Amino acid sequence: MLVEIEWDVLSRTIADCRARLPFEACGVLLGEHKSDTLRIRTCVPLTNAADRPETSFRFDEREWLRILYEDDLRKRAGHRLLGIYHSHPAAGAVPSADDRAAVWSGLPTYWIVSLADADSPQIAAFRPHRPPGAAHMPCELLPLAYSIVG
User: CB neighbours of 15 closer than 8 A, spacing ≥ 6?
Assistant: none
Min separation Cβ 3 and Zn ion, Å:
19
Which of 15, 33, 42, 96 binds Zn ion (CB under 5 A)? It is 96
* Residues of span 43-62 touching Zn ion by CB under 5 A: none
Number of residues forming the site for Zn ion (CB under 5 A):
2
**Which window, 25-33, 98-106, 113-121, 131-139, contacts Zn ion (CB under 5 A)?**
98-106
**Which window, 58-66, 97-105, 130-138, 141-149, contacts Zn ion (CB under 5 A)?**
97-105
Tell which phi-psi region holds residue 66, choosing left (phi > 0), alpha (psi between -120 and 50) or beta: alpha
Q: Does 111 bind Zn ion (CB under 5 A)?
A: no
Q: Do 142 and 127 touch, CB atoms closer than 8 A?
A: yes
Q: ∠ CA 46-48-54 to the nearest 5 degrees? A: 140
Which is closer to Zn ion, CB of 42 or CB of 96?
Answer: 96
Residue 148 β-bridge partners: 5
Nearest residue to Zn ion by CB is: 99
Min separation Cβ 41 and Zn ion, Å:
24
Residue 77 β-bridge partners: none
**Strand ranges for the chain from DSSP E:** 2-6, 26-34, 37-46, 80-88, 109-114, 122-129, 140-144, 147-149
Which of 13, 30, 39, 99 binds Zn ion (CB under 5 A)? It is 99
* Residues binding Zn ion (CB under 5 A): 96, 99
